[in-house]
């Protein structure tokens, strides 16, 4: 048996102030094996990948030893680690289409280093042959670009591949494809270190799993053992945060008048470029309707159509009392505050250079009287946010806090309908669960209609009363 593909001993990464971001990590990845490192944002998992590649930012200091296929290096010796690129280590980047040279055809790019025969056989192995192999990178789909990079990994001599968040931003179907592709690389003798916060990757790749929290490995072992019978409380909490494991929700059966109806709506960016036709839905107070579909099918645009932000080409949108926001501008102005949106990126939903307290104060003219003095403290308490946090600017709070504050801001406006556009896709699983639970509970207790846009089928199955597939 040859030397292990990767051995990390006593890896410590410190910032300028000497705080340990990664504190004493030991990992071993056998030749031709797979190790999935899971952890939430800020847990230090990406720093480990960067340390292996010699790519840590200059302001960080690394200690410990890293050995790749028998080649030893100090973790702090970045030039030595970088000399291992292509011969020993290779990164599979997050954005595959950006990693290909746009000025060269796929086959020529591979042939440049590996020779034409090797390049062709590698492309055959990932099922990119014929026209696809001779295509320019811009003509490749995201999935094809990913396979192109996998072929590049195959022609390189590197025994160790590092994949950082290989499934970020992919929908269910593409996640499965990406996982199969990564597994096929192992079948061809490559060892794989996958860094992810997506449990589907850990489950799909199998083999070994390590769970990292606050720069420390809290649990490691075979994927089967860790994911089915976790020993550490944190791993358990994480597994339970998966939407598929959430308890079923009591369905609301309120027979009230709908607060939002759309009939036979057709919409798109321009009249020629239509995204969807004949979409109809009806939303009652307290009801949660899921909107799902592959990216690019117009989920966000439909949300905007319903909110009176994007005029449809056909059909009608009716707000409360049958008011059409597009045909009746005074009604839109009157009802504006009652139809609100929760954005995908909560941090960007706040003005970056104003303190949060000032941004809440800015709303004063449009809020009901005493909303800021009486209701704001109560709502902050409800979402467990300390009022002192409002003194900060949006970049200084976490994504979960920002999303909870965005919800508070919406509630101050006393809405009837909230369109939540992928409200948790940028949050970690445990935070995602908190936010979704908060939203569903608010829908129930405050009787507001909620439209939940997501590409995560399991999430929608867990909480919605009905679903619309685009």
Partner 1 sequence: MSEIARSVADTVRTGQRLPWAGPALILAVVLIMILGPRVWPVSPTAQNLLDTLAGPSLAHPLGTDHIGRDILARVVHGAPLSLGFALLVVAIGAAIGVVLGLVAAERGGLIDILIMRFTDLMLAFPGVLLALLFAGFMGGGMVPLFVALTITLWPQFARMARAIALQTLAEPHVEASRLAGLPPAAILARQVLPPVLQQTVVLAAFSVGGTILTISSLGFLGLGMQPPTPEWGAMITELLPYIHQAPLQLAAPCLCIFVTVLAFMLGGEAFARRAMRGEHAP
**Backbone Cα Rg of the chain:** 25
Least CB distance from residue 321 to partner 1, whole Å?
18
- Identify which range of 136-144, 202-210, 254-262, 337-345 contacts partner 1 by CB under 8 A: 337-345
Three-point CA angle 298, 302, 305, nearest 5° = 140
Q: Is 396 in the site for partner 1 (CB under 8 A)?
A: no
CB 319 within 8 Å of CB 339: yes
Name every residue whose Cβ is closer than 8 Å to that of residue 252 and which is 6 or more positions away in sequence: 284, 286, 287, 288, 443, 444, 465
User: Of 46-105, which residues contact partner 1 (CB under 8 A)?
Assistant: none
Residues in binding contact with partner 1, number by CB under 8 A: 26
Residue 319 binds partner 1 (CB under 8 A): no
Here's the x/- map for partner 1, 270-309, by CB under 8 A: it reads as: -------------------------------------x-x
372: closest CA among 319, 423, 322, 409? 409
Per-residue CA distances from 116 to 42, 55, 113, 155, 365 (Å): 42, 31, 9, 11, 68
Does 311 sit near partner 1 (CB under 8 A)? no
Other C-beta atoms closer than 10 Å to the C-beta of 386 total 9
Tokens (6 digits) for 74: 């100090």
Binding mask 360-379 for partner 1 (x = CB under 8 A): --xx-xx-------------
Q: 332-361 b/e with 16+ CB inside 10 Å = b? A: beebbbbbbbbbbebbebbeeeebbbebbe
H or E stretch at 163: strand 160-164
Neighbours of 296 (CB within 10 A): 10
Nearer to partner 1 by C-beta: 238 or 339? 339
Does 455 interact with partner 1 (rule: CB under 8 A)? no
**215 vs 394 by CB, closer to partner 1:** 394
Which of 246, 209, 217 shows the shortest CA–CA distance to 234? 217
Write down the least CB distance from residue 341 to partner 1, Å.
6
- Report in angstroms how near the CB of residue 264 gets to partner 1 at its nearest: 25
Residues in region 104-143 near partner 1 by CB under 8 A: none
From residue 400 to residue 419, what is the string marking binding to partner 1 with x (rule CB under 8 A)?
A: ------x--x---x------
Asked if 341 is part of the footprint of partner 1 (rule: CB under 8 A), the reply reads yes
Q: Which of 349, 376, 402, 427 binds partner 1 (CB under 8 A)?
A: 349
CA distances from 112 to 84, 104, 108, 117, 442 (A): 19, 10, 6, 11, 58
User: Closest separation between CB of residue 278 and partner 1, Å?
Assistant: 27
Binding site for partner 1 (CB under 8 A): 307, 309, 333, 336-337, 339-341, 343-345, 348-354, 362-363, 365-366, 393, 406, 409, 413
């Amino acid at each position: 048996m040859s030397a292990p593909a990767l051995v990390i001993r006593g890896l410590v990464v410190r910032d300028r102030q000497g705080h340990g971001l990664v504190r004493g990590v030991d990992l071993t990845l056998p030749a031709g094996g797979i190790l999935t490192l899971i952890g939430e944002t800020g847990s230090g998992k990406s720093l480990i990948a960067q340390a292996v590649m010699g790519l840590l930012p200059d302001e960080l200091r690394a200690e410990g030893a890293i050995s790749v296929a028998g080649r030893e290096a100090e973790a702090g010796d970045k030039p030595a680690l970088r000399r291992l690129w292509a011969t020993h280590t290779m990164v599979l980047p997050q954005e595959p289409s950006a990693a290909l040279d746009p000025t060269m055809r796929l086959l020529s790019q591979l042939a440049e280093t590996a020779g034409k025969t090797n390049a062709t056989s590698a492309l055959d192995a990932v099922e990119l042959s014929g026209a696809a192999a001779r295509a320019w990178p811009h003509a490749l789909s995201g999935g094809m670009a990913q396979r192109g990079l996998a072929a590049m990994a195959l022609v390189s001599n590197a025994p160790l591949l590092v994949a950082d968040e290989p499934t970020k931003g992919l929908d269910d179907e593409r996640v499965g494809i990406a996982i199969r592709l990564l597994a096929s690389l192992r079948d061809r003798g490559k060892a794989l270190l996958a860094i992810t916060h997506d449990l589907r990757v850990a489950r799909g790749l199998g083999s070994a799993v390590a769970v990292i929290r606050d720069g420390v490995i809290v649990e490691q072992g075979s994927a089967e053992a860790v994911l089915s019978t976790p020993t550490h409380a944190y791993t358990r909490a994480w597994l339970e945060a998966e939407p598929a494991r959430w308890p079923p929700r009591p369905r609301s059966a309120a027979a009230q008048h709908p607060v939002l109806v759309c009939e036979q709506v057709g919409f798109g960016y321009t009249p020629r470029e239509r995204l969807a036709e004949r979409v109809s839905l009806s939303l009652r107070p307290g009801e949660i309707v899921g909107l799902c579909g592959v990216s690019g099918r117009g989920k966000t645009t439909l949300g905007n159509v319903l909110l009176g932000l994007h005029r449809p080409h056909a059909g009608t949108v009716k707000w409360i009392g049958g008011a059409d926001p597009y045909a009746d501008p005074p009604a839109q102005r009157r009802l504006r505050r009652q139809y609100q949106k929760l954005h995908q990126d909560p941090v960007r939903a706040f003005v970056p250079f104003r303190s949060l307290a000032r941004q809440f104060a800015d709303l004063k003219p449009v809020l009901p009287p005493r909303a800021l003095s009486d209701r704001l403290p109560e709502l902050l308490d409800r979402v467990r946010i300390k009022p002192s946090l409002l003194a900060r600017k949006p970049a200084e709070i976490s994504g979960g806090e920002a999303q909870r504050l965005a919800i508070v801001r919406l509630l101050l406006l006393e809405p009837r309908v909230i369109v939540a556009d992928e409200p948790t896709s940028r949050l970690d699983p445990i935070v995602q669960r908190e936010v979704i639970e908060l939203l569903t509970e608010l829908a129930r207790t405050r009787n507001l209609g909620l439209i939940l846009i997501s590409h995560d089928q399991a999430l929608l199955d867990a909480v919605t009363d009905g679903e619309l597939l685009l």
